[in-house]
């Protein structure tokens, strides 16, 4: 049996879970999220012990995969409505900078034009300094996807390390050309 899937999801105080058919809705102090569970998975909420249990019909490969996935997605929803997920990015390079105006993030990262990205729904962005970007949302998938979209505008290059990277990300550096004596 799935080690992750068989673990119950503990529901803390201040979080409400509603299950209607295949739809799981989680409400908390920061917002509300809903997820449509795969028809093969069964989700039960025990109000007395405040736990959500996910079960599968059999041990087929697809069902084993969906079992752990469903449990993880519900757990992420519960975590997100309690405390929003945060991703931080760094903009590294001479003249490289980010700015925010309304719901449009503008990036100047060495291209002739400024790259403008519109923030998705339920995602907030903060630019504490021109070289730092902070993305926050109750939806873990939305935070990760938007952070990846920003990073893909100018991924860090291995020679000088210029580009957009996740905070704390280690970039493997390469040695440049070594100049010989010439001959």
The answer to whether domain 9-82 has CATH 3.40.50.2300 is no
pLDDT in tens for each of the 183 residues of the chain?
A: 458 889 999 999 999 999 998 999 999 999 999 999 999 999 999 999 999 999 999 999 999 999 999 999 999 999 999 999 999 999 999 999 999 999 999 999 999 999 999 999 999 999 999 999 999 999 999 999 999 999 999 999 999 989 999 999 898 999 888 776 655
**Half-sphere exposure at residue 57, Cβ-oriented, CA atoms within 13 angstroms:** 7
The pLDDT value recorded for residue 102 is: 92
The torsion of the CA quartet 96, 101, 104, 105, rounded to 10 degrees, works out to: 20
What pLDDT does residue 97 have? 95
Determine the pLDDT at residue 1: 47
* CATH code of the domain occupying 85-166: 3.90.930.12
Domain ranges of the chain: 9-82, 85-166
Whether 9-82 and 85-166 share one fold: the answer is yes
Residues 7, 43, 23: CA angle, nearest 5 degrees: 135
158-171 pLDDT per residue, tens: 999 899 999 998 98
pLDDT at residue 175, rounded to an integer: 87
């Amino acid at each position: 049996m799935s080690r992750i899937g068989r673990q119950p999801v503990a529901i803390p105080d201040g979080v409400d879970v509603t299950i209607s058919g295949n739809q799981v809705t989680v409400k908390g102090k920061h917002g509300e999220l809903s997820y449509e569970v795969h028809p093969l998975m069964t989700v039960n909420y025990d109000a007395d012990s405040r736990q959500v249990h996910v079960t599968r019909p059999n041990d087929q490969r697809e069902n084993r995969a969906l079992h752990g996935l469903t449990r993880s997605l519900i757990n992420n929803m519960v975590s997100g409505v309690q405390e929003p997920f945060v991703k931080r990015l760094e903009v590294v390079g001479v003249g490289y900078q980010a700015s925010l105006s309304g719901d449009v993030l503008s990036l100047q990262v060495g291209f002739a034009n400024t790259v403008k990205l519109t923030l998705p729904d339920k995602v907030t962005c903060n630019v504490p300094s021109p070289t730092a970007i902070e993305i926050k949302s109750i939806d873990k998938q939305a935070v990760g996807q938007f952070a990846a979209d920003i990073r893909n505008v100018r991924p860090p290059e291995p020679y000088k390390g210029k580009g957009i990277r996740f905070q704390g990300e280690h970039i493997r550096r390469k040695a440049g050309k070594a100049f010989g004596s010439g001959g």
